[in-house]
Amino acid sequence: MSSHPEADHRRRVMLRTAMGPAITEALADPSVIEVMVNPDGALRLDRLGEGRVDTDVHMHPSEAERIIRLVASHVRAEAHADNPIVSAELPSGERFEGLLPPVVLAPCFAIRKPAAKVYTLADYVAERIMLPLQADALKKAVRERRNMLIAGGTSSGKTTLANALLAEVAECDDRVILIEDTRELQCAARDCVALRTRRGSVALADLVRSTLRLRPD
């Protein structure tokens, strides 16, 4: 029997231990969207309906660096001065971005949680975020296979809207191919293939070429 599963389990346990109770509890809290530790060691949270909030928790630079190195180890990467940026997906699906000196004064990182619920266009209308006429226009655009550009600032809801549109795509019974650099899109289509880039070996352009041979609709 391979020892890799045991090694992976050990790395996960070490990572959770290194994160400590404050971050672990925040990741388990459904109201928390994102967990951030700045170079000054301050732990801040992004909460639904509240935005960014401060906590009374401060992390020592060595603790933050240990977390970044453990995440790098989890994805079989290295973290040091010559490779100071770690972009990864945590075991539970969270998106992790960690940085070490010299690109920052001290170690810092952000952990973005995946969406717990896929909003539909009907949800947008029910919560008065979108008018029924606007939702109908988007549904029509999906049916007609129009190109759409979703743009906005950080944490403005781009992925949430994209997933709502994918929920409409899923009802069209098309073969769907997703291309991402981080797994964030959720599509319930019966015929769906999700592709993901890999830093240093598989770029978006590579996946586009593969997509053309996977017979997308």
Tens digit of pLDDT for each residue in 130-141?
Answer: 999 999 999 999
Residues 128 and 200 in one domain: yes
| The pLDDT of residue 157 | 87
Taking each continuous run of H as one helix and of E as one strand, the counts in the chain are: 6, 8
136 and 102 within one domain:
no
Is the domain of 88 the same as that of 126? no
pLDDT above 90 for 183: no
Give the pLDDT band (50/70/90) at residue 48. confident
Confidence (pTM)? 0.76
Q: Looking at residue 76, what is its pLDDT? A: 86
pLDDT over 80 at 199, yes or no: no
Strand 85-89 versus strand 95-99 pairing type: antiparallel
Domain boundary among 59, 83, 112: 112
pLDDT tens, position by position, 10-46: 777 888 888 889 999 999 998 999 999 999 999 999 9
Pick the closest to residue 14 from 26, 3, 6, 22 (CA basis): 6
* Cβ atoms of 36 and 28 closer than 8 Å: no
pLDDT-based confidence at residue 2 (cuts at 50, 70, 90): very low
The reply to whether 132 and 98 lie within a common domain is no
Q: Output the domain CATH number for residue 45.
A: 3.30.450.370
Q: For residues 202-216, give the mean pLDDT.
A: 92
Q: How many CB atoms lie within 10 A of CB 10?
A: 11
Instruction: Point out the domain boundary residue: 112, 130, 159.
Output: 112
Mean pLDDT rounded to a whole number for the chain: 90
Q: Return the DSSP state at 129.
A: S
| Distance (Å, whole) CA 102 – CA 7 | 30
- What one-letter code names the amino acid at 156? S
CA dihedral 10, 4, 178, 181 (to 10 degrees): 60
**10 shares a domain with 108:** yes
| Residue at a domain's end among 112, 133, 164 | 112
Q: How confident is the model at residue 4 (pLDDT cuts 50, 70, 90)?
A: low
Q: What percent of the chain has pLDDT above 90? A: 64
Domain hosting 74: range is: 4-112
Interacting residues of 43 by C-beta distance below 8 A, sequence separation 6+: 22, 23, 26, 35, 36, 37, 55, 57, 58, 59
Would 217 be classed as within a structural domain? no
pLDDT digits 0-9 by tens, 59-77: 999 999 999 999 998 888 8
